[in-house]
Amino acid sequence: MEIAVGTSSASMEHLLAKLEGLLSQEHALIQHVRGDIQYISDQLAAVRAFLHGHRAAAESSARRRRRDDDEQMKLWVKLTRDLAYNVEDCVDGIRLWLNRVPEPRDGDHGLLSSLRRAWYAISTVYVRRDIAAKISTLKLRVHHLEAPTPTPWCDGASPESYTTAGDILSGRSYTTAGPSASFMGMVGTEQAMGELGPWLTISGVRDSRKILAIVGCRGLGKRTLAAGLRCAAGEEFDCRVSVVASRKLRVEAFLRSLLKQIMPRVAYNDLQIGGMDGWEVRRLKEKVEEQLLDRRYVVVIDDVCSVPSCELILNSLPENQKDSRIVVTTRFHAVAEAIGRLEHGHVYKLNPLSVHDSYLLLLRRTFGSNYQCSSVIDRRTSKILDKCGGVPLALVALAGLLGCKLKSDPNWIRVCDSVNSELEKEHLPDEVTAKIIYLCYEDLPADLKTCMLYLSTFPVGLNISKKRVIRRWISEGFIAEKHGKTAEQVADDCFDQLFKRSMISAVDIGTNGEVKTFQVHEMILEYILRKSNEEGFITVIDEDCPGLMPRSKIRWLSVHGSTNSMRAKEFMKTVSLLHVRSLTSSRTMKQLSSFKILQVLDLEGCEDLTADQLVKICKMYLLKYLSLRRTYMKGLPSVIGRLKYLEILDIRETNVQRLPTSVKCLQRMTHLLCGDKSRHLSLTFTVEIAEMLELQTLSGIEIDTASAEAFAAIHKLTKLKKLSIYNLKVQPQNISRSFEHLLFAILTLTACSLTSLAIDDGFTGFLNELVTLSTFPSYLRALELSGGLNKVPEWIVHLHFLEKLSLSLTSLRTDSLVLISKLPVLFSLTFSVNSARQRPGVLSIHLENVLNSVGEIFVPPNGFSNLHTLRLLAVGLPLQLISFLEGAMPALQRLEVRCRMFEGIYGLETLQNLSQVHLEVSKQASEVAKEKVRQTRSSVSNHPNRPAVIFDEYFE
Q: What is the pLDDT of residues 653-664, one digit of tens each?
A: 999 999 999 999
Rounded CA separation 32/29 (Å): 8
* Distance, CA of 329 to chain centre: 25
Residue 181's pLDDT is what? 37
**Rounded mean pLDDT, 695-719:** 85
Whether 136 is in a domain gets the answer no
Q: Tell me the pLDDT tens digit for each residue of 757-802.
A: 999 888 888 888 888 877 778 889 999 998 878 788 889 999 999 9
What is the total count of domains within the chain?
5
**CATH number, position 854:** 3.80.10
Roughly how many angstroms between the first and final C-alpha of the chain, as a whole number?
A: 55
Tell me the range of 431-445, 596-610, 690-704, 917-931 where mean pLDDT is highest.
Answer: 690-704
Q: Does residue 161 carry a pLDDT above 60?
A: no
Q: Are residues 314 and 342 in the same domain?
A: yes
Q: How confident is the model at residue 109 (pLDDT cuts 50, 70, 90)?
A: low
Residue 948's pLDDT is what? 80
Q: Tell me the pLDDT tens digit for each residue of 507-525.
A: 888 877 889 999 999 889 9
Whether 410 is in a domain gets the answer no
Higher pLDDT among residues 136 and 605, named by residue: 605
DSSP string, 798-853: G-TT--EEEEEGGG--HHHHHHHTT-TT--EEEEEE-GGG--HHHHHHHHHHHHHT
Q: How confident is the model at residue 699 (pLDDT cuts 50, 70, 90)?
A: very high
Whether 110 is in a domain gets the answer no
Q: How confident is the model at residue 431 (pLDDT cuts 50, 70, 90)?
A: confident
Q: What is the mean pLDDT of the chain?
A: 79
Phi, psi at residue 29, to the nearest 5°?
-120, 145
Cα–Cα distances in angstroms (integers) from residue 771 to residues 81, 722, 766, in the given order: 57, 20, 9
Residue 665's pLDDT is what? 93
Strand 505-509 relative to strand 515-519: parallel, antiparallel, unpaired?
antiparallel
Q: Are residues 692 and 746 in the same domain?
A: yes
Rounded CA separation 462/257 (Å): 11
Q: How confident is the model at residue 926 (pLDDT cuts 50, 70, 90)?
A: confident
Q: Are residues 811 and 719 in the same domain?
A: no
**Rounded mean pLDDT, 218-222:** 86
Strand partners, 327: 212, 300
Rounded CA separation 517/458 (Å): 13
Beta strands in 467-624 (DSSP E): 505-509, 515-519, 538-541, 556-559, 582-585, 600-602
Whether 930 is in a domain gets the answer yes
Whether 166 is in a domain gets the answer no
Q: Are residues 766 and 744 in the same domain?
A: no
Q: Are residues 713 and 763 in the same domain?
A: no
**How many alpha carbons lie under 13 Å from residue 941 in its C-beta half-sphere?**
8
Q: Does residue 169 carry a pLDDT above 70?
A: no
Residue 174's pLDDT is what? 30
**Rounded mean pLDDT, 124-153:** 62
Q: What is the pTM of this model?
A: 0.85
Q: Are residues 811 and 721 in the same domain?
A: no
Q: Select from 471, 490, 525 the last residue of a domain.
A: 525
- Which residue type does 788 have? G
- Which residue type does 143 have? H
Rounded CA separation 761/757 (Å): 13
Residue 66's pLDDT is what? 47
Q: Are residues 749 and 788 in the same domain?
A: no
**CATH number, position 286:** 3.40.50.300
Q: Tell me the pLDDT tens digit for each residue of 537-576.
A: 888 887 655 555 555 678 898 888 665 566 666 666 667 7
**Rounded mean pLDDT, 922-942:** 82
Q: Are residues 884 and 744 in the same domain?
A: no
**Rounded mean pLDDT, 249-277:** 76
Residue 701's pLDDT is what? 93
Residue 472's pLDDT is what? 96
Q: Are residues 84 and 226 in the same domain?
A: no
Residue 258's pLDDT is what? 87
Please tell me what DSSP assigns to residue 16: H
Q: Are residues 723 and 779 in the same domain?
A: no
Least confident span in 343-352, 719-728, 731-740, 931-940 = 731-740
Domain interval for residue 41:
1-56+70-96
**Rounded mean pLDDT, 875-893:** 86
Q: Tell me the pLDDT tens digit for each residue of 370-401.
A: 666 666 677 878 888 888 888 888 888 888 88
Higher pLDDT among residues 185 and 175, named by residue: 185
